[in-house]
């Protein structure tokens, strides 16, 4: 149900563009984007997290 925003977010990754303004506050920064432009946004977690993929091993 959050897909419309998530699509814009993913597209910004694919375009190597800035994070959409209304999604900046989610905590996605260059520091938590893995090579290949992968950033984990896990809104289902008990403590929602944003981070590099390798942080979730």
Partner 1 sequence: METADFIVIGGGIAGASVGYELSLHGKVVVLEMEASAGYHSTGRSAAVMSENYGPALWSRLVTASRAFLEAPPDDFTDVPLVTPRGALFLARDGEQAQLQAQAEEMLRRGATIEMTTAQEALRFCPVVRDSEFASALYEPDCKDIDTNALLTGYLRALRKNGGTFIPDARVQSLQHSQGTWQASSPRGNFEAPVVVNAAGGWVQEIAELAGLSFRNVVPFRRTAVVFDPPAGSAIQGWPMTFDVAETFYFKPEAGLGSWCRPSIWLLLLPAKHRPTNWKSPLRSIESTAARRWRSGRSATNGAGCAHSHRIMNPSSDETRSSPVSFGLPGKAAMA
Chain residues that interact with partner 1, rule: CB under 8 A: 1-11, 13-15, 20, 22-23, 25-26, 34, 36-46, 48, 50, 53-54, 56-57
User: Hunting for tokens 């290949």 — which residue is that?
Assistant: 36
Using DSSP's 3-state secondary structure scheme, residue 51 falls into strand
Which secondary-structure segment (H or E) carries 22? Answer: none
CA distance 44 to 28: 16
Distance in Å, CB of 33 to partner 1, minimum = 10
Distance in Å, CB of 18 to partner 1, minimum = 13
Distance in Å, CB of 51 to partner 1, minimum = 9
């Amino acid at each position: 149900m959050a897909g419309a925003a998530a699509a814009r977010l993913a597209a910004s990754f694919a375009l190597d563009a800035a994070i959409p303004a209304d999604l900046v506050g989610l905590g996605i920064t260059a520091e938590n984007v893995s090579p290949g432009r992968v950033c984990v946004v896990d809104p289902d977690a008990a403590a929602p997290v944003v981070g590099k993929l390798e942080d979730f091993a």
